[in-house]
Amino acid sequence: MQDYRDHDAVSLAELVRTGGTTPAELLATARARLAEVNPVLNAVVRDVHPPAATGPEPQGGRPFAGVPFLLKDLHQDLAGVPTSNGSRALRDVPAAETATTVERWVEAGLVVFGKTNTPEFGAKALTEPHVFGPARNPWDTDHTPGGSSGGSAAAVAAGVVPCAAASDGGGSIRIPASACGLFGLKPSRGTLPYGPAHGEPIGGTATDGVVSRSVRDSAAMLDVLAGPSDTSAYLPGGLPEGGFAAEVGQDPGRLRIGVTWASSINADPHPEAIAAARRAADLLSDLGHEVVEVPMPVDDAKLAKDFLTTWFVHCAASVAEAMEAAGVGEDHFEPDTRVMAALGRATSALDYVRAVEGRHEHVRRLAAFHADHDLLLTPTTATPPPRIGAFDLPAPVALVQRALLTAKAGGVLRFTPLVDQMISQNLGWVPYTQLANLTGRPAMSVPLHWTPEGLPIGSQLVGRLGSDGLLLRVAAQLEQAAPWWDRRPPL
């Protein structure tokens, strides 16, 4: 088991190619490790019979042939297998077709054997769905692994698989990577395909990806996924000529990097979050980069409002679609989800369009920052990973919530302290990650700092559109300067 955990996905694939092991042996080992830790972590919520690659040999072969892999149980459809999206309503509704990204993972030779825990519709930075119960952090099981890719991050950190599928609509790759001591990259908008069942998720702010223990795994996985499909709306730009994997180990040159931890959403970040940013800044300075303190380059209070406005409308659409697919009523969804859906339905078309168009303001401000700075450095989260249940509503507030939902008072909800409490809970500990989603810029979380209590907090770097390769070069520099591979959770 320990020998298995000493390898990343790239090296496991090499072992298979050279006859050092077999896919069957790797799958048996992954399942054994899952059986050992999942009763505690609740990271994987559905067993999957591994589908076989059926398409023609892709260009470059099957780079991950025989490597065990887990899908996230949110929009990552495998035909005939339910995708619950973390919801009781969809728990037993099988997917009609396989998602494009899942097809690419399977055709790359990855052996999919399970689906990971996620909050209902991926709507929180925690992974505590009512239908499956909370996923737990391997570094301290009283704490969250983050969300919405929390199950995937917990499984990777615990050594079930070296990397796992994830997705990111507001930080859902980077937040769990931060909470679990992993590397996580959200690619530039348009780099990865969508479909075929759905177009651009949340108006293009969301994308698939992975959480991993090594930078080279994330780079090689990006090579598997990048590029348009037949149903893509446009061609992505900025793809490295030699592929993303070739960027790892290349010199990024001397960069000018602006660092900040200022936030209008959380005016008092935890000292350990600030320490994480300072640790990254010091390492980058030691590597020869110029690091300067800067103010937050965008109006993050307005950005949060624009983000949540579009998110609530998207949640309303997701609930309506799920009700139709499952033939159920709204009582099959969690109260917080119903509140968000009610807020979405109460949002006017004018307010929604203004929020969507508001993204351009944030793009322009971030572009002005990037005219003088190559990268923006922040903590990934404003606090260490919270305890499980920390954001549960107090009983009296939950009663008010249920009463308003029963009265179908979506319009009234907008003017209650309940909404402010939901916003502070959902974004207060993760105020830094939505910027990259709304602007479409690539961003990554790098695991460089652990608290005295042994909990990880990542450092986030945001680049210009199409600078994914540059981010990988910098991540590899940091990985070599301050290796995290041998840091293992106690579980």
Q: List the catalytic residues.
A: 72, 148, 172
Q: What whole-number distance in Å separates Cα of residue 361 and Cα of residue 29?
A: 50
The radius of gyration of the chain's CA atoms, rounded to the nearest angstrom, is 21
Q: What whole-number distance in Å separates Cα of residue 471 and Cα of residue 96?
A: 36
The β-bridge relationship of strands 256-259 and 290-293 is parallel
Q: What whole-number distance in Å separates Cα of residue 186 and Cα of residue 286?
A: 26
Is the preceding peptide bond at 82 cis, omega within 30 degrees of 0?
no
| Residues paired with residue 69 on neighbouring β-strands, in sequence order | 112
Phi/psi for 490 (5° steps) reads: -75, -15
Mutual orientation of helices 349-357 and 359-370 as an angle, nearest 10°?
A: 10
Contact 177, 215 (CB under 8 A): no
Question: Which tokens belong to 434?
Answer: 């939505």
Place of tokens 């009296």: 396
Give the largest Cα separation in the chain, rounded: 64
Taken in order 326, 331, 335, 337, is the CA torsion positive or negative? positive
Give the single-character DSSP code of 292.
E
Question: Which tokens belong to 376?
Answer: 């923006």
